[in-house]
Chains A and B, each alone.
Chain A
Amino acid sequence: MIKYEQVEIKYGNFVAIENLNLEVREGEFFTFLGPSGCGKTTSLRALVGFLTPSKGKIIVGGDDVTNLPVEKRNIGMVFQSYALFPTMSVYENIAFGLKVKKLPKAEINQKVRAVAAKIQINDEQLRKNVSELSGGQQQRVALARAIVLEPKILCLDEPLSNLDAKLRIELRRELKRLQKDLGITTLYVTHDQEEALTLSDRIAVFNNGFIEQVGTPHEIYNHSSSEFVCDFIGDINRLETGILKKINEQEQAGLDIHKTGFVRIERCIDTEKPGYVSIEGVVIDKEFDGVMTKYTVKCGDEIIKYLEKNDGFQFYDEGDEISVFINPKDIMQF
């Protein structure tokens, strides 16, 4: 569906994207994930047409769109700032693209109302000026404005970042549902790994103008292909020589003690299991969030964190001496 072929994008002399190769499949929810300044938004803007690559091609549905004007690409976009038109009502904002297409009034009306129903904007809200809406409602309007045009592709640039946590989760679910209903190929840009993992079919992790890894959330999370990826996504323990040595002693894991080993904190436990090695330490901190407790354990010179599900029993306290158990197979080394 979408193909980036050896794409290079420059701002003046600064190379923002170097040799990007990527394929997004039809109907897929695909996320560009990475820290700010990594080139994810740049890649998205090149697809939409705001930027022209200095090298390479962008292919959509088999056609080369590299030099096609933005307005001819039929790609929907939702901006981080929403970019709603302040001089127009909600209705007019949603109808804007349809009017551009010169559709008959009745059809415009029908489509606007249909999409408004889908995103739960009522008639009264349609008549309001966009500035009178709350942040979440503005977000919905921005989305409605994009999908009412039935684009081949929907691009979302950090669409939820201006909302509070609860609303973010609510809208995230809605977004996912909507995407599945409509079956639109969707490109999603975010720096929030949780958003990326929950929403995406596949994720591309960007770093410094390169893609570090492309894969399903499961692959990215559990089989990170680089230190950057596993560090960026999720909470991780860094195991250095001391602990690695201990592991190698207990089990023939064959870990390279000169390299850092990485293990997800939720893969570490405090009860013994076959195949796990034990490491002794002292609890120095605990964080309880209702569902889970995150313990920080000092093991020699190193720190290991692990999670325990709330089972109604007493917690360990700071100063308690405990053992943490790790399965050497969970340790990633690069």
Chain B
Amino acid sequence: MNKLTAKFRESNISIPSLALKIFLIWFIVTFLIFPNVNLLLNVFIKDGQFSTDAITKVMKSTRAIKSLKNSFILAVASIVTVNISGILVVLFTEYFDIKGSKLLSLGFMTTLIYGGVVLVTGYKFVYGETGIVTTILCNLYPGMDRQWFVGFWAVLFIMTFSGTSNHMMFLTNAIRGLDYHTIEAARNMGASQMTILFKIVLPTMSPTIFAITILTFLAALSTMSGPLIVGGPDFQTINPMIKVFAGMQGSREIAALLAIILGLATSILLLIMQRVEKRGNYISVSKTKARLVKQKIENPIMNVAAHIVAYTMFVIYMLPIINVLVFSFTDGLTIKTGMITADSFTLENYAKLFRSATAYKPYLVSVVYSLLAATAVAVIGVAVARIVTKGKKKLDKLFEPAILIPWLLPSTMIALGLMMTYDVPRLLLGTKVLIATPVIMLLAYIIIKIPFSYRMIRAAFIGLDANMEEAAKVMGAKPFYTIRKVILPIIMPVVLSVVVLNFNSLLAEYDLSVFLYHPSFQPLGIVIKSATDETATVDAQAMSFVYTVVLMVISTIALWLGRYGGIKQIKNMIMKSKKGVNGR
């Protein structure tokens, strides 16, 4: 035994870190690799034979090919447009001196609190046949087709202005961390504002922009609501098709094949991004950083133009959410027809929601699930990010590709993989059956959020000064203590941002939940969907808005707490009251 510990010491292996690694390897194998491999084997092997039917079928299907093509077109196009709008949004609120930037940023933050069907419906209300913008345009150009908001451009438009959440969260951080001295130095050397922006500011932020680009690409590839609602016959994408086929037992191999094609595209993008990223050095070399001072745009014409663009974007962001808010107070027919009259307004929808004694339950279920999942994901993300950034062995680096696997598969497939794998006792889980337990959905929530969380947390770790940890060690702090007291507080802003984003996006999760939820614990997504089902009455859509508005409130609270200093404010309040008591 002594020899063994000595050996451990010699090879620099600590037992807890080994235990953690074993746990992570078990987790990855059990939940990220095995179910998905099992699913693929299951669907492609028929009667003991590997079947290539799916390939033939897909090749024959003009619809599948066209949808795939559309998905890729949308993904590539939205990389460009979402980055443009996202970067603009951040520049307007953080970099340039724009009047009323506080108000602007409130508007730009709206994408953080709602999404999916409701968001797209919101846009449809604004730009659709009966929408306010369409009406105004029709007054200006009487001959105009009222159904203009349809197809690729409509979908891309919505993506462009609704996909900027990650920019708001992470690019904002990056730009705040910019060393102002570099900007001053550039000015000193005679650079114009334009040159500084494009040669200094944006390149410095490129690691964050790369990470966000990947997220944008993935979001566009897997988008459902946009094409379904405003895509029209000419612009349908592949993900709804995958979902339909995944739901049909006999057709899962087609779903799997389509998913694999998307997965391959994603991995290619990930590889390219990694290459590009490796080429540059983005770690700040500054010893002392200066705080960013907002830049006043010197050219008066440009300044006016920037203000106009900023406020136009603000209006674009605000109109849908205002529509959703307004319509949540109207009856179903008003929503369907889009005609608001004086007696459209009612509180009945809200009354209906809160009248039922159990109305709060799905909220509670979803809040608990999302919170547990978001927390667990953060823990795993932090652990893996640390192993990958700190580890010296080759094996340590392998955690990264493994942990990114869920990015390669649509969430529907991940749900199926779990269902089809853990419906029988498996040794990996100590022969426990997962299906039909409340745990399986929690696990699925965790799984789908891992890659995003890891990617963002890793970035935080890379920026960390290694001496910091050593300093704590020298002062006698054990690893556990060091991490809790020193490392975590430093990376906490990023971790909290990740937790909040995950929490908010899981609150109304539907795609996974529909397969995995436990009947006793129905999450919001399921309840909303069944309240707004096609078989439901005209009020259904009004109800979905009511649910969403309540969700927005919860999301806003989460956002405030996790990201905008809510926790600190509460802490201060408690401290103050304590101080008052102690009379210090």
**Known contacts being A70-B470, A86-B490, is A149 close to B475, with CB within 8 Å?**
yes
Give the A-B pair count, Cβ closer than 8 A: 73
Residues in A whose Cβ lies below 8 Å from that of B476: 71-72, 74, 97, 100-101, 149
Determine the distance from Cα of A73 to Cα of B477 in the docked complex, in whole angstroms. 11
Closest 10 CB pairs of A and B: A97-B475, A83-B467, A87-B489, A83-B471, A70-B473, A77-B474, A79-B467, A100-B477, A71-B476, A83-B468
CB distance from A212 to the nearest CB of B (A): 28
Bin the interface of chain A by size: 20 to 34
Q: A82 to B288, alpha carbons, bound, how many Å?
A: 12
10 A/B residue pairs, CB under 8 Å, sorted by A: A71-B476, A71-B477, A71-B478, A77-B474, A79-B471, A83-B467, A87-B486, A96-B472, A149-B475, A149-B476
Chain B: minimal CB distance from A153 (Å): 10
Q: Give the residues from 44 to 91 in chain A that come closer than 8 angstroms, CB to CB, to chain B.
A: 48-50, 52, 67, 70-77, 79-88
Cβ-defined partner of A52 (8 Å) among B12, B287, B288, B470: B12
CB < 8 Å neighbour of A71 from B467, B473, B486: B473
Instruction: Find chain A residues with CB under 8 A from B486 CB.
Output: 85, 87
Is B288 a contact partner of A77 (Cβ separation < 8 A)?
no
| Interface residue ranges, B against A (CB under 8 Å) | 9-10, 12, 287-288, 465, 467-468, 470-478, 481, 485-486, 489-490, 492
Q: Is the CB of A100 within 8 A of B481?
A: yes
Question: Which one of A67, A81, A96 contacts B477 once the chains associate, using CB atoms below 8 Å?
Answer: A96
Q: Verify if A162 is at the interface (C-beta below 8 Å from B).
A: yes
* Interface residue A145 (Cβ < 8 Å from any Cβ of B): yes
Q: Which of B12, B475, B489, B490 sits near A100, CB closer than 8 Å?
A: B475
- Verify B468–A85 contact, CB threshold 8 A: yes
Q: In the complex, are the beta carbons of B288 and A83 less than 8 A apart? A: no
Question: A146 contacts the other chain (Cβ, under 8 Å)?
Answer: yes
**Prevailing SS type, chain A contact patch:** loop
A135 at the interface (CB under 8 A from B): yes
Closest to B489 in A: A87
- B475 near A79 with CB under 8 A, answer no
* Cβ contact within 8 Å between A77 and B478: no
Q: Residue B474 contacts which of A75, A86, A162 (CB distance < 8 angstroms)?
A: A75
Residues of B within 8 A of A74 (CB): 476
Could you say which residues of chain A place their CB within 8 Å of the CB of B492?
Answer: 87
B470 and A77 contacting across the interface, CB-CB below 8 Å: yes
Residues A77 and B477 in contact in the complex (CB < 8 Å), given A52-B12, A67-B9, A87-B489: no
Q: A residues within 8 A CB of B9?
A: 67
- A249–B465 Cα distance when bound, in Å, is 61
* Chain A 131-189 residues near chain B, CB threshold 8 A: 135, 145-146, 149, 162
Which chain B residue lies CB-closest to A79?
B467
Which residues of B lie under 8 Å from residue A88 when comparing CB positions?
A: 489
Query: Which chain B residues lie closer than 8 Å to A48 at the CB level?
Result: 470, 474
- A161 nearest in chain B by CB position: B287
Who on chain A is nearest to B474 by CB?
Answer: A77
- Complex alpha-carbon distance, A162 and B12, angstroms: 33
Assuming the A-B contacts A86-B490, A97-B476, A100-B475, are A79 and B481 also in contact, with contact meaning beta carbons closer than 8 angstroms in the complex? no
